[in-house]
């Protein structure tokens, strides 16, 4: 039997709970709880009536339109099979065995996942907890000095999601700029997967910082998680180097059709983001009312502390057909619930009521 590489043997498998989810209210994966917009479904349906599936995808027009959408040059855009592939390409291009990668804790698992495959050493920066503005509101924050303490001569990549998953916490642009300037030879990735729910972007820092990379996904606000489409934005030379290790047809034709339709309607996205923020505010009111503290979030989810009630809440929620995410491996007692439409939030609150 072939022997896997040492790095693979040491890794813990990543097994998201994807089974037995049909017919339930999915408040566990931070998806768009309203589903894919109708104008996108129409565009995909019309495309299926043509010869789209029989031919390899053509990226030239799509790349230019998406670059225009983000207001950057076409040469600064890399289209990927989801943000996961964009992260993988960054690591494949710039990180090698023995290099160091800085990640936050807790954070999105794929940063560590791809860095470990590359044989890199992980340097973790833990969040500090601060008091919130409300009695049961808590705030997680990462300090610039804490990040820089983990940066050394071997640091090749620094991953800073903004907002962060699973905490929903954010990093100021001043802190991001401080990291960029202190680590000019490291790739600094600002993962803006949840940008649409917060509205703050590092794109304005791109021109003067050659080590800045920004990722965006269409899996969250745009309701296209099943299409697997993400983008990486950086300086043209960085993108050119990454394309050398990029599969020539990793993004499928239907994904392109869907994304090009999605970016034509900013009003729809803005309205959905407003509904999500309202749903999040409802959770911020109801969780403390039922005795749960929560961590302040700027994304489409809230991480809250269920304490010794976590198992009972997970079980009762499942029995009620509502899926939420167990994050106790990140923080003691932590569960995460996606913020969605008002009726969906009321359904989750009814589960809280049953356990009072």
Model pLDDT for residues 108-133, shown as the tens digit of each residue: 999 999 999 999 999 999 999 998 88
Write the pLDDT tens digit of every residue in 1-18.
Answer: 887 777 777 767 766 666
Check: CB of residue 338 under 8 Å from CB of residue 345.
no
Q: Using 50, 70 and 90 to split pLDDT, how confident is the model at 51?
A: confident
The whole-number average pLDDT for the span 312-326 is 95
The listed range with the strongest mean pLDDT (9-13, 41-45, 127-131, 154-158) is 154-158
Amino acid 311: pLDDT: 96
pLDDT band at residue 48 under the 50/70/90 scheme:
confident
Phi-psi region of 2 (alpha: psi -120 to 50; beta: other; left: phi over 0): beta
d(CA 180, CA 155) in angstroms, rounded, equals: 12
> Strands 128-131 and 322-323, how do they pair?
unpaired
**Interatomic CA distance for residues 338 and 29, integer angstroms:** 7
What's 46's DSSP letter? Answer: H
Q: What residues have CB less than 8 Å from 347, skipping those under 6 apart?
A: 25, 320, 322
Q: Which pLDDT belongs to residue 20?
A: 67
pLDDT band at 19 (very low <50, low <70, confident <90, very high): low
Distance (Å, whole) CA 30 – CA 331: 18
pTM: 0.94
- What is the distance between the alpha carbons of residues 228 and 232, in angstroms, rounded to a whole number? 13
Place of tokens 């869907």: 258
Which tens digit of pLDDT belongs to each residue from 82-99? Answer: 999 999 999 999 999 999
* Phi (first) and psi of residue 10, to 5 degrees: -80, -20
Element (H, E) at 140: strand 137-141
């Amino acid at each position: 039997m072939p022997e896997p590489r040492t790095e693979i043997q040491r890794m813990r498998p990543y097994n998201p709970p994807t089974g037995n989810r049909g017919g339930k209210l999915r408040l566990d994966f931070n998806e768009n709880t309203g589903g894919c917009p109708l104008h996108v479904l129409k565009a995909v349906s019309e495309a299926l009536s043509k010869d789209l599936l029989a031919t390899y995808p053509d990226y030239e027009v799509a790349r230019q339109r998406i670059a225009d959408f983000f207001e950057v040059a076409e040469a600064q855009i890399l289209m990927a099979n989801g943000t996961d592939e964009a992260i993988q390409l960054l690591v494949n291009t710039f990180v090698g065995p023995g290099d160091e990668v800085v990640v936050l804790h807790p954070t999105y698992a794929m940063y560590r996942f791809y860095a470990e495959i590359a044989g890199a050493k992980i340097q973790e920066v833990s969040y500090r907890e601060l008091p919130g503005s409300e009695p049961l509101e808590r705030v997680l924050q990462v300090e610039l000095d804490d990040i820089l303490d983990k940066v050394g001569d071997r640091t090749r990549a620094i991953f800073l999601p903004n907002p962060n998953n699973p905490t929903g916490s954010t990093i100021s642009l001043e802190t991001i700029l401080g990291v960029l300037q202190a680590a000019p030879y490291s790739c600094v990735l600002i993962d803006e997967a949840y940008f649409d729910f917060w509205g703050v972007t590092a794109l304005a820092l791109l021109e003067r910082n050659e080590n800045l990379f920004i990722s965006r996904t269409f899996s969250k606000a745009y309701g296209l998680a099943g299409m697997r489409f993400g983008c990486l934005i950086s300086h043209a030379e960085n993108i050119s180097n990454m394309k050398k290790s990029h599969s020539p047809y990793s993004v499928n034709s239907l994904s392109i059709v869907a994304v090009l339709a999605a970016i034509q309607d900013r009003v729809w996205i803005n309205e959905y983001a407003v509904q999500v923020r309202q749903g999040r505010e409802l959770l911020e009111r109801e969780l403390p009312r039922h005795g749960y503290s929560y961590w302040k979030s700027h994304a489409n989810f809230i991480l809250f502390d269920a304490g010794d009630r976590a198992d009972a809440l997970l079980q009762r929620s499942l029995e009620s057909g509502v899926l939420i995410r167990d994050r106790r491996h990140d923080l003691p007692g932590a569960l995460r619930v996606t913020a969605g439409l008002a009726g969906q939030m009321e359904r989750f609150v009814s589960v809280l009521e049953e356990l009072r």
